[in-house]
C-alpha cells in the first residue's frame, strides 16, 4: 500500500475501510432479505396458480359444453357467424384506431 504522509490520511484510510466493511455487510443483508422476499413471492404466485387451476378445472366441463354449442351454431349458420366475426373485427379496429 501507499505510505501516508499525514495523520489525516491514515484516518481517512481507516474511515474508507470501515465504510467498505459496512457496505459489504449491507450488501449481505439486502441479499438475504431479497431471497426471503423472492421465496415469499414465489409461494404467493404458486398459491394463486393452484387456485386458478382448481377453479378452471371445475369450470372446464361447462366451458367445453358451451364451446361445442357455439361450434354447432356456427356450423348451422355460417353467414351469421361470418357477419359476427366482421363486427367483432370492426369493433377491435375502431378501438385500436381511437387510441392513437
Per-residue pLDDT tens for 64-88? 999 999 899 999 999 999 999 999 9
Binning pLDDT at 50, 70 and 90, where does residue 7 land?
Answer: low
Q: What is the pTM of this model?
A: 0.40
Between CA 100 and CA 97 the distance in angstroms is: 6
CA distance 83 to 95: 18
Task: Give me the pLDDT at residue 100, please.
Answer: 66
C-alpha cell at 77: 349458420
Provide the pLDDT for residue 17. 87
> 28-69, pLDDT tens digit by residue?
888 878 777 888 888 888 989 999 888 888 888 998 999 999
Which pLDDT value is given to residue 93?
93
Query: How many beta carbons lie within 10 A of that of residue 81, not counting itself?
Result: 15
pLDDT at 1: 47
Amino acid at each position: 500500500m501507499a505510505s501516508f504522509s499525514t495523520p489525516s490520511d491514515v484516518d481517512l484510510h481507516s474511515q474508507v475501510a470501515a465504510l467498505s466493511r459496512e457496505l459489504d455487510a449491507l450488501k449481505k443483508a439486502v441479499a438475504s432479505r431479497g431471497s426471503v422476499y423472492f421465496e415469499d413471492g414465489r409461494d404467493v404466485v404458486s398459491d394463486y396458480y393452484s387456485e386458478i387451476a382448481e377453479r378452471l378445472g371445475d369450470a372446464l366441463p361447462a366451458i367445453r359444453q358451451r364451446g361445442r354449442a357455439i361450434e354447432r351454431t356456427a356450423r348451422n349458420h355460417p353467414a351469421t357467424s361470418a357477419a359476427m366475426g366482421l363486427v367483432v373485427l370492426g369493433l377491435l379496429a375502431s378501438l385500436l384506431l381511437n387510441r392513437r
